[in-house]
Amino acid sequence: MTTQPKKSGFTIIELMVTMAIVALGLSIVSVFLVSVKQKSRDAARVQGLQEITKAINLYYTNNGKFPVVPAETVITGSDELSNLLEGDGVIRETPKDPQGGANQYTYQSNESGTDYTITFCLETGSNKEYAEGCGNTMRP
């Protein structure tokens, strides 16, 4: 009787099962990371909105009216509202949306500067004060 030497190593099935388990784990982690990134950008948007609102209120204190920008304006940092706020010295740099694109802030005031509206978008519903999507507005 002759015995064959035992071969060491993995079979192709064992390798495929291991690769499938690793791929499943990576897909779960990537979905989690996308959610974390979206929530992080939303938190930055809300913080930027608070900075803009504080600057607008300081502008009101200094000038007796809100910045007059009657046409809806996307806040880009080089727009009319940003120029007014930065020129008045109430903010050093106007915050922009962390991702840009469709999720930007917009500002519009009435002709007399007694009222304004800021609209903005959020990617998730994680914020208790605002909803997911672009239907969010802020007024004085």
Q: How confident is the model at residue 88 (pLDDT cuts 50, 70, 90)?
A: very high
**103 and 45 Cβ atoms separated by less than 8 Å:** yes
- 40 φ, ψ to 5°? -65, -45
Q: Token pair of 7, please?
A: 């071969």
Q: How many residues does the chain have?
A: 140
Could you tell me if residue 7 is inside a domain? no
Q: At 99, list the tokens.
A: 């991702």
The tens digit of pLDDT for each residue in 55-81 reads 999 999 999 999 999 899 999 888 999
- Closest CA relative to residue 84, chosen from 115, 104, 112, 62: 62
- 5 in any annotated domain: no
- Would you say 79 and 19 are in contact if contact means Cβ atoms under 8 Å apart? no
Q: Does some domain include residue 42?
A: yes
pLDDT recorded at residue 140: 87
Model pTM score:
0.77
- CATH code of residue 79: 3.30.700
Number of domains within the chain = 1
CA–chain centroid gap for 106, Å, is 14
Among 88, 93, 12, residue whose Cα is nearest residue 57: 88
Q: Is residue 62 part of a domain?
A: yes
Q: Using one digit for the tens of pLDDT, what is the confidence trace for 111-130? A: 999 999 999 999 998 888 89
Domain coverage including residue 23? 12-138
* Residue given tokens 């204190």 in the structure block: 61
Residue 87 lies in a domain: yes
Provide the β-strand partners of residue 122.
133
Q: Tokens for 92, please give them.
A: 């050093």
- Model pLDDT, residue 10: 78
Residue 40 has pLDDT above 80, yes or no: yes
Would residue 2 count as lying in a domain? no
| Position 120 in a domain | yes
